Amino acid sequence: MVEQIVFYVFAAIAILSGVYVVASQNLVRSVFMFFVTLLSVAGLYIFALADFVALTQIVIYVGGVLVMLLFVFMLSSKDSLDNIINLKKEALSANRIPATIITIALLAIISYAILLVDFEQLDWIKSNKLLIDKAQTSNVHNIGVNIMGRFLLPFELISILLMMTLVGAAHLARKEPTND
Amino acid sequence: MISLQHFLFIAAILFCLGIYAVITRKNAIQVLIGIELMINASILNLVAFARYDVVNNNGQLFALFVIVLAAASVAVGLVIILNFFKRVKTIDPNKANSLRG
C-alpha cells in the first residue's frame, strides 16, 4: 500500500513537472524544472527494481547533461535572460494547436495499444514471475557480470564512441567560424 | 507490486510531452530537452520490462547503454547549438535555413 502511494506521488511529480517543462514560457524555470523531472523518473526506475540504472541516471543526467545544458544556455541566450520578462507569449513557442492535436492523437494510439494487451497473461512474464522471488534483491552484481561477459564488445565499443564524441565536441567547439 | 501498465502509461505521457516540446519550442535547447524527455520515456519502458527478466537483465543493460548514448548525443548537439549561435546569433531552429555559413 505504501509502495503504491509513493509510486503515484513520484509519477505525479514526474508528469506535472514534465508539463511545466514543456509549457512554461520561462526558459530558466523550464530548464531547472527538468531537474525535478529527471529525479522523479529516477525514483520510478527504483520501483522497477533498477537501482543501478536510477543511480546512473542521477549521476549522468543530473550531474552531467543538465550542467552542460545550463552552461550552453548561459553562453548562448544571454539576451533572453536579460529581458526575460519583456518576451512576448508567442516568442517562445509556435504551432500550438497542431502540436496539441498530434500529441493527443499519439497518446490515444499508445494508450489503446497498451490497453489491448493483457500483460499478466503473457507467457514469458508468467514464467519469469516465478523466478522473481528466488532472485537476490540487488541486481548490481548481475549487471556487472553481464557487462563484463556477454556485453563486453558493446561496452568497449561504447567507450570508443564516447571518446570520439568528446574529442569531436571539443574540436567543433574551439573551431572559429570561417565566414560570417 | 506495481503493474506493468502503470509504467507504460507514464512513459507514454512523458514521450508525448517530449514530442510536444520538439514541435512547439522555438529554442534549440528546449528542443533538446524534449528529445531527452523522449529518451527518458523509452528508458522507463526498457526498465519496466526488465523487471521480469531477472536472469539476464537485458533491459537494464540496454537502458545503461541508452543513457550513455544520450549523454554523447547531448554533448554533440550542444556544441552544434553553440556553433550555430556563433554564426547566426540566435538559437531558433526555424532560422537555420542555410547549410553553409
* Average pLDDT in chain B: 87
Q: A62: distance to nearest CA of chain B, Å?
A: 11
By CB atoms closer than 10 A (0-12, 13-18, 19+), residue A47 is buried
pLDDT, tens digit only, all 180 positions of chain A? 888 999 999 999 999 999 999 888 777 888 889 999 999 999 999 988 888 999 999 999 888 888 888 888 888 766 655 555 555 555 556 678 888 999 999 999 999 999 998 887 888 777 777 777 666 667 888 888 889 989 999 999 999 999 999 899 888 888 665 654
Quick one: cell of A75? 553562453
Contact B78 A14 (CB under 8 A): no
Q: Which residues of chain B from 39 to 68 reach within 8 Å of chain A, CB to CB?
A: 40, 43-44, 47-48, 50-57, 60-61, 63-65, 67-68
Reported ipTM exceeds the 0.90 cut: no
Cα atoms found within 13 Å of the Cα of residue A101, Cβ hemisphere only: 3
Q: Which residues of chain A from 89 to 108 reach within 8 Å of chain B, CB to CB?
A: 91-96, 98-100, 102-104, 106-107
Quick one: cell of A63? 550531474
What are the pLDDT digits (tens) for A38-50? 999 999 999 888 8
Residue of A nearest to B67 (CA): A57
Sorted by where each starts, the structural domains of chain B and their CATH numbers stand as: 4-95 (1.10.287.3510)
Q: At what angle do helices B58-88 and B28-50 cross, to 10 degrees?
A: 180
Sorted by where each starts, the structural domains of chain A and their CATH numbers stand as: 1-93 (1.20.120.1200), 120-180 (no CATH)
Contact A135 B15 (CB under 8 A): no
